[in-house]
Amino acid sequence: MNIYESIYLIQMNDFYEMNNLIQYYRPMVTEIWADIFVRKTNTILCDRDEFYRHADLLLYHCIFEYRMDRVLTFTSFYRKCTKNKAYDILRQALRKQCYLNQVNISLDQKIKEDTNMYYNGIQMTDSLEIHDIVIDKLMWEHIKNRISKVFGKDYIQIINLRTEGYTYQYIAKELGLSYSKVNFMFEKVKKWYTTIDS
């Protein structure tokens, strides 16, 4: 896999490529999670799926912050950022546990203090909003592909125009169909959508 080609495509808003890159780095992210949250603590303070969400968001930020003139490869850059993020989550979880239990907990010396906002210069918040946007777009593209396979491309055109806010009347005129035909096709997809994977 050509990582740098994938980075370029993602910067050009190719959300399928984002999914490919997430899957490519999943083993590395899993290893970091296991090393920090499983091997070094008695209890898992951040479950794997939650850490994946943080790592995916961080990957998205890294893609737009990475510079080719840096000494680090992108993989090394992302690994270092992900480890810093993991230690930050661990530190916050331990502090919260300490506060709830009113017990002094000695933090692992490898945990960097003040790593919040320090992911190799990347400015980000704890919000997972971008992750949700990317995943939603990936899911929507996946669903549209399924609609295209089940019903055909005409249905995709109607869905796209409808989700952009156009009326049935406008869509019918634009596609050269009757109002009732557009309405029927859209309702057919809506009914199918509510029953898929059920």
Q: Name the residue ranges covered by the structural domains of the chain.
A: 3-126, 134-195
pLDDT tens for each residue of 79-93: 988 988 888 888 777
Q: Residue 98, Cβ neighbours under 10 Å: how many?
A: 14
pLDDT, position 30: 93
pLDDT, position 40: 61
> Reduced to 3 states, what is the DSSP secondary structure of residue 86?
helix
pLDDT, position 110: 39
- Residue 60: which of 113, 14, 114 has the closest Cα? 14
Q: Which residues contact 46 (CB under 8 A, 6 or more apart)?
A: 33, 37, 86, 89, 90, 93
pLDDT at 184 over 80: yes
Residue whose token pair is 């799926």: 49
Considering the entire predicted model, what is its pTM?
0.52
pLDDT, position 161: 84
Q: Stretch 10-24: mean pLDDT, rounded?
A: 84
Q: Which residues contact 130 (CB under 8 A, 6 or more apart)?
A: 57, 60, 61
pLDDT, position 160: 81
The mean predicted confidence, pLDDT, of the chain is 75
pLDDT tens for each residue of 19-30: 888 999 999 999
pLDDT, position 119: 47
pLDDT, position 117: 41
Q: Residue 143, Cβ neighbours under 10 Å: how many?
A: 14
Residue whose token pair is 């090393």: 35
pLDDT tens for each residue of 125-172: 444 444 455 555 666 677 778 888 888 888 888 888 887 778 888 889
% of the chain at pLDDT higher than 70: 71
